[in-house]
Structure 1
């Protein structure tokens, strides 16, 4: 249950990064709406992270949370913001994902 909350928290971290990226591209009311989405995603992410650390050690939970957020944000950047894709970016993205999975596997 707590691992599920942690994964969802990481996905909301990706959501708030996506909202920030979109807010940067627009102005006016649309920018306000994207920033509102950012605050909502940020709040949900932090609440779920807090709930997850009630059972999962903070070092592991924070590492997994930031790993999901970092990997997801790189993928969002590649897909939606046309960031450059290179062998080394993909290589380190996969090592980041492997590290997140590794933390899950070695934590009781």
Structure 2
């Protein structure tokens, strides 16, 4: 159960990161509110998951999911560069996160 919560919390990290950018410095209400709710849920889920997952593994997986998710949304929906090198680097992050889970 902790791993499921950790993955969901990582996905919520992507939500709050995108909402933060969309809030334009907290000047737009809906993205700002989305940021706050997603941040609280993401951190709460991380805290719950860390009850049974070591901090080094849990935090790295959480950050990895959030970073890769945010970069993919940036590439797919926000016009950021999707070069082969960038996608390759994201794949390396995914391999590292999977490795942390496998060798946990």
Range class of TM-score, shorter chain: over 0.9
Q: Residue 99 of structure 1 aligns with which residue?
A: 96
Q: Residue 71 of structure 1 aligns with which residue?
A: 68
2:5 equivalent to 1:9: no
Considering only aligned residues, what root-mean-square deviation do their CA atoms show, in Å? 1.5
Gaps of 5+ in 2: none
Question: Residues 46-65 of structure 1: matches in 2 within 5 Å?
Answer: 46-65=43-62
Gaps of 5+ in 1: none
Mean Cα deviation higher: 1-10 or 13-22:
13-22
Q: TM-score, normalising length from structure 2?
A: 0.95
More helix by share: 1
Count residues with an aligned counterpart: 104
| Aligned structure 1 segments of 4 or more residues deviating by more than 6 angstroms | none
